[in-house]
Amino acid sequence: DTGVSQNPRHKITKRGQNVTFRCDPISEHNRLYWYRQTLGQGPEFLTYFQNEAQLEKSRLLSDRFSAERPKGSFSTLEIQRTEQGDSAMYLCASSPRRGEAFFGQGTRLTVV
């Protein structure tokens, strides 16, 4: 399977804990995006990488959130000191230089 892969698929954590999600994009895609989707809403943009450079971040991305894409390959999204409001589906997408975005199946985070 050469699609976008996200791990884990589900994560339950206690409030205040840190969590990290991983995204493996389609290998030849240089653009990578993170989105967050809450129940009944469309996905909202969080951040964008072109190769290893993080070029844009949404105001939604508080300082508890950090994302990396070392060597322009896989990406990680870390949330520190999780809050119940962080409960959502976190989606990763990748795309070639100009073209459609391909989405992974997402990581569903539940903060209890």
Partner 1 sequence: GNSVTQMEGPVTLSEEAFLTINCTYTATGYPSLFWYVQYPGEGLQLLLKATKADDKGSNKGFEATYRKETTSFHLEKGSVQVSDSAVYFCALSDFQGAQKLVFGQGTRLTINP
Interface with partner 1 (CB under 8 A)? 4, 31, 33, 35, 40-45, 48, 55-56, 91, 93, 95, 98, 100-106
For partner 1, give the closer residue by CB, 82 or 95: 95
**DSSP conformational letter for 71:** G
For partner 1, give the closer residue by CB, 4 or 79: 4
Contacts of 94 (CB under 8 A, 6+ apart): 4, 23, 25, 26, 29, 31, 32, 33, 101, 102
**DSSP conformational letter for 99:** S
For partner 1, give the closer residue by CB, 41 or 110: 41
Residue 95 CB, shortest distance to partner 1, in Å, is 7
